[in-house]
Amino acid sequence: MSESRPRILVPGKINQRILDRLPEMFETVRIERADVDLVTPEMADVAGVAVSGRLPVDLMDALPHLEIIGNFGVGYDGVDVARAAARGIAVTNTPDVLTEEVADTAIGLLLNTLRCLPQAEQWLRQGRWAREGAFPLSPLSLRGRKIGLFGLGRIGLAIARRLEAFAVPIAYHTRTPREGLAYAYHSSLRDLADAVDTMIVIVPGTPSTLKAVNADVLAALGPQGVLINVGRGSTVDEAALVAALQNGVIAGAGLDVFENEPHVPEALLTLPNVSLLPHVASASVATRNAMSDLVVDNLKAWFSTGEALTPVVETPFRRNSRKSV
């Protein structure tokens, strides 16, 4: 393995800016998808991976000299970070650079869901305003609502700051309360749902959050309840959500993420009381460029200074002191 030109594996699709910038310091190795069967003996000296999405454990383990995994995104549930840590492999993500964009999208999705703005635009585009008259009044409004945030990390705080401008009460649930905040804290998700009528989900996809928003939580939101999810699809029990929307258990939902992306259940597509986006919360050119730059800059920093810029908390390694397994 050449120290001057480390080899970086890119499995599957990734932002073009990453591919354009990797040659600044690295030799890029491409495979069509994240599949261990595509790894050849000539890839044994690969020292880093740049990945968008899932990196299977068997692919990770097929790279004996792997030092660092640059994950494109804040969430890194597609990487088995425990296995990476056990092998002394650093994992990085892309925090901060997408915070404001995702928070903006969350507010937009909330307003779309409450005020039926996408449906109103289609009413106009289809000529129905001229033929049939005014678009029907939206049954819901942001006025008088109580907002609960499930998750209050960087993005959650950015969403809360925006909500303050709407003069709505804000509450939240996290594992432990955050100090110095005026927002009401609830020690359980069910307690939060009991206290609010609108829940915004912005937690990572982990075993502890798997289907955390279940039928019980949805029922606690009440018949005027609204659920917004810009975190991970795995956090919401999708079947329970569909049933709640169909049966009037809650009034509406706005979703940017789903359990089995890019496949969205037909039942959700046909419901009139949902607003659906194709996982685009951070999907602007400016933000995706910033995310791409951070992926590459993490890799460059690791091989030039021995320390990544934004390692995830589970892998706080330095290159010259990491263990190899």
Instruction: Out of 232, 238, 288, 322, pick the active-site residue.
Output: 232
Helix/strand/coil for 118: helix
Asked if 279 is an active-site residue, the reply is: yes
Please give the single-letter amino acid code of residue 131.
R
Query: Which helix (DSSP H) or strand (DSSP E) does residue 13 occupy?
Result: none
Instruction: Out of 279, 307, 314, 319, pick the active-site residue.
Output: 279
Structural contact between residues 276 and 289, judged by C-beta atoms closer than 8 angstroms: no
Asked if 319 is an active-site residue, the reply is: no
Rounded to whole angstroms, the Cα distance separating 147 from 317 reads: 39
Q: Classify residue 296 as exposed, middle or buried by CB count within 10 Å of its CB (0-12, 13-18, 19+).
A: buried
Asked if 232 is an active-site residue, the reply is: yes
Query: Which helix (DSSP H) or strand (DSSP E) does residue 114 occupy?
Result: helix 99-115
Dmax over Cα atoms in the chain, in whole Å? 72
Q: For residue 18, which of 283, 312, 26 has the smallest C-alpha distance? A: 26
**Which residues are known catalytic residues?**
232, 261, 279
